[in-house]
A = this chain, B = another copy of it.
Amino acid sequence: MAETKSCLVEKLSRYAPLSERDLERLATLEEEERPCPRGSDVHRAGDRNGDLFVLKAGWAFSFTNMPDGRRQIVTVHHPGDVIGFPDIAFRNATTTLRCVDDVTLCPFPKSALSVILRESPRLSALMLSIALRDQVVFIDLLRAMGRMSARERIAHMLLDFRARLRMTDPAVTDRFRLPLTQQQIADYLGITNVYVSRTMIQMEDEGEIVRSEGHITLRDASKLERLTDFCDRYADMDTSWFPDT
Contacts and interface: CB of A to CB of B under 8 A. Distances in A.
Contact of A147 (B70, B125, B130): B70
A74 interface: yes
Contact of A85 (B114, B135, B148): B135
Given A72-B146, A138-B138, A139-B138, A129 B238 contact: no
Interface residues of A, number: 59
A113 B124 CA distance: 11
Contacts of A87: 132, 136
A34 interface: no
Given A89-B130, A147-B190, 14 more contacts: A72-B142, A85-B135, A86-B139, A88-B238, A89-B237, A95-B139, A114-B125, A117-B121, A117-B128, A118-B121, A118-B245, A124-B128, A128-B128, A142-B142
Nearest to A128: B128
Contacts of A129: 88-89
B236 A91 contact: yes
Interface of A: 49, 64, 66-67, 70-72, 74, 85-91, 94-95, 110-111, 113-114, 117-118, 121-122, 124-125, 127-136, 138-139, 141-143, 145-148, 187, 189-190, 229, 231, 233, 236-238, 241-243, 245
A86 B139 CA distance: 9
A132 B72 contact: no
30 contacts: A64-B139, A66-B148, A67-B229, A72-B146, A72-B147, A74-B139, A74-B143, A85-B132, A86-B135, A89-B129, A89-B130, A90-B233, A91-B238, A94-B231, A113-B125, A113-B241, A114-B242, A114-B243, A117-B122, A117-B124, A117-B243, A118-B121, A118-B243, A118-B245, A127-B128, A128-B131, A131-B131, A138-B139, A141-B142, A145-B146
Given A127-B128, A229-B66, A136 B86 contact: yes
A187 B113 CA distance: 37
Contacts of A90: 133, 136, 233, 236-238
A162 B124 CA distance: 32
Nearest to A123: B117
Contact of A146 (B131, B135, B189): B189
